[in-house]
Structure 1
Amino acid sequence: MHTSQEPLLTSGAERDLAVEHWLLSATADNDRARAEWKESGVALLRCGTLFGAVRTSGVVVRAAAGTDRPREVDAYLAQVLAGPVFSDRVIDCYYVLVPPSAGTREAWAATHEDAEYLGRGHYLGVPKVTAKTPQQGRSYWCAPMDSAGVLASPEAVSQFLAFGRYQMACDATYAIE
């Protein structure tokens, strides 16, 4: 019996299942999305209702983190963004999930060379919630979603990108090719 003074514990598997169910709300066909996760590790989900995404270049991310070591980059992202982030290693992009209202921000009104807001009208290949290491396929969660619906702050993302751009300007190592 649970009392209000006892902490309620949730297992990682229960949390992953809750996040998966929440993400599936962004598709009209749950069976198709589940099959995509099983077959390719990535399911196509609709942006703009439950979440938006800020797609940013891996160069900006590594410049902000000050390292190109994946584990260190992932730890940095989890700490500074405090929200879900996944990486597509093939195209070297990171996707930060944010509230759909982030699309109304002036900072995301136009496409930038190194970052873009994806909202209504966009679809996103989202990795299965259990893909949490680079070895698990093309895409993986660098900073997994802590709980269903918990997203990154648009302000934190804006500050992160500004810092990454600043670091790039100060260090030619991170110049965009």
Structure 2
Amino acid sequence: MTMLEGNRQLITAWLAGADAQPGAVHAAWAERGVALLPLGRRFDAVRVPAARIHAAVHSSEARTVAAFLGDWLAGPVIRDIRSGLGPYYVLIAPDSAWGGTEERLSTDTFLGVPRLGHPVSMLTRWVVPPTAPGDLCDPAHLSALLMTAETLKAVDP
């Protein structure tokens, strides 16, 4: 097993541990490529409209957005791709502060989380996959990114 494969197994186990029955999560990933994970235990998610992310990045091209978010947020981001307007879900720690206007999803909410590796689901995909167990985005970085989007919108309507 390579170091990357070993790390992927650790990350996968950590993600699956968000659910009280991690075996069911692994089965869902194997069967459908996506599993519904409860929020509020291992991570929360901030739902950001695609238009806000694309305004901040100045692009809607998938590779450009992924590279930018990977550098800026330095943590995992999922995108719902059922439509071109599909939102981005920025994963943050459950105990972290969030004061932005975007909706924070937490306890009593489930998020479709794709399996790591080759995408299978046509509904959701990793834009920025986690690089280690517990790897999450800093909400302050997300807030700064979204302020950039607002500034650009005001300057370039």
- TM-score (norm: length of structure 1): 0.79
- Deviation, 1:11, is 2.0
Matched, 1:75 2:62: no
- Deviation, 1:57, is 0.6
Residues 34 and 121 in structure 2, CA contact (< 8 A), matched pair in contact too: no
What residue number does 2:111 align with? 124
Q: Which runs of 5+ in 2 are unaligned?
A: none
- Deviation, 1:131, is 4.2
Matched, 1:45 2:37: yes
| 3-state SS in 2 of match to 1:45 | strand
Residues 47 and 121 in structure 1, CA contact (< 8 A), matched pair in contact too: yes
| 3-state SS in 1 of match to 2:137 | coil
What residue number does 1:5 align with? none
CA distance in 2, matches of 1:171, 1:86: 27
| 3-state SS in 1 of match to 2:52 | helix
What letter corresponds to residue 76 of structure 1 in structure 2?
A: F
Match of 2:145 among 156, 160, 174: 160
Percent of paired sites with the same residue = 32
What letter corresponds to residue 36 of structure 1 in structure 2?
A: A
| 3-state SS in 1 of match to 2:30 | helix
CA distance in 2, matches of 1:136, 1:32: 17
| 3-state SS in 1 of match to 2:149 | helix
- Deviation, 1:119, is 1.3
1:121-143 CA-to-partner distances (Å, cap 9, x unmatched) read 211111111146xx863221111
CA distance in 1, matches of 2:23, 2:153: 43
| Deviating 4+ runs (over 6 angstroms) | none
Q: Which runs of 5+ in 1 are unaligned?
A: 1-9, 173-177
Q: CA RMSD in A?
A: 1.8
Residues 36 and 111 in structure 2, CA contact (< 8 A), matched pair in contact too: yes
Alignment: residue pair count: 154
- Deviation, 1:35, is 2.0
What residue number does 2:95 align with? 101
CA distance in 1, matches of 2:78, 2:155: 26
What residue number does 2:8 align with? 16
- TM-score (norm: length of structure 2): 0.89
Residues 60 and 168 in structure 1, CA contact (< 8 A), matched pair in contact too: no
Residues 114 and 121 in structure 2, CA contact (< 8 A), matched pair in contact too: no
